[in-house]
Chains A and B, each alone.
Chain A
Amino acid sequence: MTLSRDELLEAYRVMRTIREFEERLHTEFETGEIDGFVHLYAGEEACAAGVMAHLTVDDRIASTHRGHGHCIAKGVDVRGMMAEIYGRATGVCHGKGGSMHIADMDMGMMGANGIVGAGSPLICGAALAAKVLGTRNVAVAFVGDGASNQGTTLESLNLAVVWNLPAVFVVENNGYAEATSNKFSVGTDSIADRAASFGMPAVVVDGHDFFAVHEAAGEAIERARAGKGPSFIECQVNRYYGHFEGDAQTYRPPGEVEEVRANRDCLELFATQVTKSAGIDSAALGEIDRKVATLIEESVVAAKSDPVPSAEELLTDVYISY
């Protein structure tokens, strides 16, 4: 699948935006100005960008607790996201969701989720709606290696096959469910093997490689749009930060993250490939880097000075309060 220059630059922009957003949050979190639980997606950008390159605004995704990257790749407003994570009235969820429940239904983003594995059934529903309404939209569930062990995910794989749903399940296998290694928690050698046993195509790709993810996702999404049913993609990837911000990652061997950053960083791999073989000069990428840096800086400055929600907001957006 050949990508145009514009498509390549857009993919780079998405990945760079996610990286800058997450690196900045990592720094800002340490100042103590951000409340609550924050789970960073840095290192996994190629998965979100590679899948979302094939989706329209009307296609739906369900995300995980590690949801910022999916939001950005799906087109959710970055300023509104930053404001949400700072708990501001200007946030995409009016400060009522926060990092772990960040969502924008208007953009087809059905939410980060505080419950591991909860997105898979929801995506069966979004896919069912697309099928019943005849929209040709697809729905994509992102789950982690941890959620691959949850009954909700396994049940959803079966239901998606039984109902022949236009759904795609993407497992971002970053090796650790919180602190526990998938070498312990996943009983099979390959999560994809499990999915295949439900009766759907299932592949394993290098999640650091945008092009590998993009190709696999393209096939799966095209298959779903054509009414041929669900598919499964296991993206093997690494996260650069802890399960949550503040996690010292004592369970990881020394040097593991440094090795990945040095040799398998998705942005570096992408930049090397497109400058070498797609005729894109590094100046074009540098221009994107500068624009993204400005956007993130402005988003943080704005979020810090934006108003917090008014007291009345406590009781709105629920049908009744006593």
Chain B
Amino acid sequence: MARTITYQQAITEALSQEMARDSTVIVMGEDVMGGSGAEGEMDAWGGPMGITKGLHSKFGDQIMDTPITESAFIGAAVGAAASGLRPVAELMFSDFLGVCFDQIYNQAAKFRYMFGGKSETPVVIRTMYGAGIRSAAQHGQSPYSIFTHVPGLKCVIPSTPYDAKGLLIQSIRDNDPVIFFEHKNLYQMEGEVPEEPYAIPFREASVVREGADVTIVTLGLMVHRSLEAAEKLAGDGIECEVIDLRTTSPLDDETILESVRATGRVVVVDEASPRCSVATDISALVAQHAFDALKAPVTMVTAPHTPVPFAGVLEDLYIPDAAKIEAAVRSVAGYTR
């Protein structure tokens, strides 16, 4: 039965249900048990976002704190995944992926191929991304394109509580390494989520709004900014089809191309910086496979090519907003050769 819970609660529920279903699902990360070795109340914190709060009381040793040692514990999660467990490692901020990158892109991603198919690495790395809380350059990036680039990794970027639960359950049950990106500004978003466990297959983009005039391809928090723009544009008779990618690898290219072939106009909206990004990747895909259908230039709305700034006025300018998306769509919709 569905009821309304937050994105954050949906993630906690997915973890809890999977840990209950399968005792080889273990959770590890910094502060996830609430602070091992400290004299205060155990299990009351559950990491900085409180995602894992209460799991230690329910699941005991299935959850473990780590020192601040990302290379070692992400590598350990990878090694444990190759040795019979299904670890879910919480990497507090996705900016910290740089600290442990080798264990992800040279080790986890490549085992299956390098070892001739004789290895599976069912590890999930949950990590928080995105700008919008004044967390600045080293705690505010959206680095999913870096991981999308690497063969062997799967990249999951849920935009709603419903997707967060279903995609996390799928991530845990999947036999390949998954990087699961959670947006800081979505944790408090509410939505209908079934109580029972369910899995959403990868490579199934979601058409969150149908429309015949312009296709908006987007992901994560930007889905909501795009919907906001689409509502406004509809008032002026411009109907947008909004596609939420949900996974950037594997990518549901068919849904994108089908929509672009119908509308002939596309705007790609991405919170990350613009070079070698998901936005450029989608643009190239469309240019390569739907060139004949295009009635206007492929257009991107992205952050500028700068680190995430601290000052509120600058960060607000940095993040693509509904007004920028609306302007891009108007330009594409009104384009004539």
Contacts and interface: CB of A to CB of B under 8 A. Distances in A.
Given A151-B71, A152-B72, A94 B79 contact: no
B187 to A, nearest CB: 28
Contact of B74 (A104, A115, A121): A121
B317 to A, nearest CB: 35
A232 to B, nearest CB: 15
Interface residues of A, number: 48
B85 interface: yes
Nearest to A319: B176
B249 A320 contact: yes
Given A129-B80, A159-B66, A320-B250, A111 B106 contact: no
B79 A121 contact: yes
A121 B75 contact: yes
Contacts of A124: 72-73, 75-76, 79
A155 B72 CA distance: 6
Contacts of A189: none
Interface string B79-114: 111111101000000000000001100110011111
A159 B106 contact: no
Given A114-B106, A132-B61, A320-B249, A125 B69 contact: no
Nearest to B251: A322
B161 interface: no
B140 interface: no
B78 interface: yes
Interface in A144-181: 151-152, 155-156, 158-159, 162-163
Contacts of B114: 93, 96-97, 101, 103, 111
A6 interface: no
**Residue of A114, A126, A151 contacting most chain B CB atoms (<10 Å):** A126
A62 B107 CA distance: 12
Nearest to B83: A129
Contact of A133 (B67, B75, B84, B106): B84
Contacts of B64: 163
A94 B116 contact: yes
Given A129-B84, A129-B85, A319-B176, A158 B69 contact: yes
| Majority secondary structure of chain B interface residues (helix, strand, loop or mixed) | mixed
Given A152-B71, A320-B250, A159 B76 contact: yes
B152 interface: yes
Contact of A104 (B26, B102, B118): B118
A159 B72 contact: yes
**Residue of B80, B176, B253 contacting most chain A CB atoms (<10 Å):** B80
A262 interface: no
A81 interface: no
**Residue of B67, B83, B85 contacting most chain A CB atoms (<10 Å):** B83
A48 interface: no
B115 A103 contact: yes
Interface in A47-68: 60, 62
Nearest to B89: A125
**Residue of A95, A114, A118, A123 contacting most chain B CB atoms (<10 Å):** A118
**Residue of B26, B74, B106, B115 contacting most chain A CB atoms (<10 Å):** B115
A115 B152 contact: no
A251 B280 CA distance: 48
A252 to B, nearest CB: 29
Contacts of A114: 106
A62 to B, nearest CB: 7
Interface of A: 60, 62, 91-97, 101, 103-106, 110-111, 113-115, 118, 120-126, 128-130, 132-133, 139, 151-152, 155-156, 158-159, 162-163, 316-322
13 contacts: A62-B79, A93-B114, A121-B71, A121-B78, A124-B73, A129-B79, A129-B84, A133-B24, A133-B84, A155-B69, A155-B71, A162-B67, A320-B249
In order of increasing CB-CB distance, the 4 nearest A-B pairs are A121-B75, A125-B79, A122-B79, A94-B116
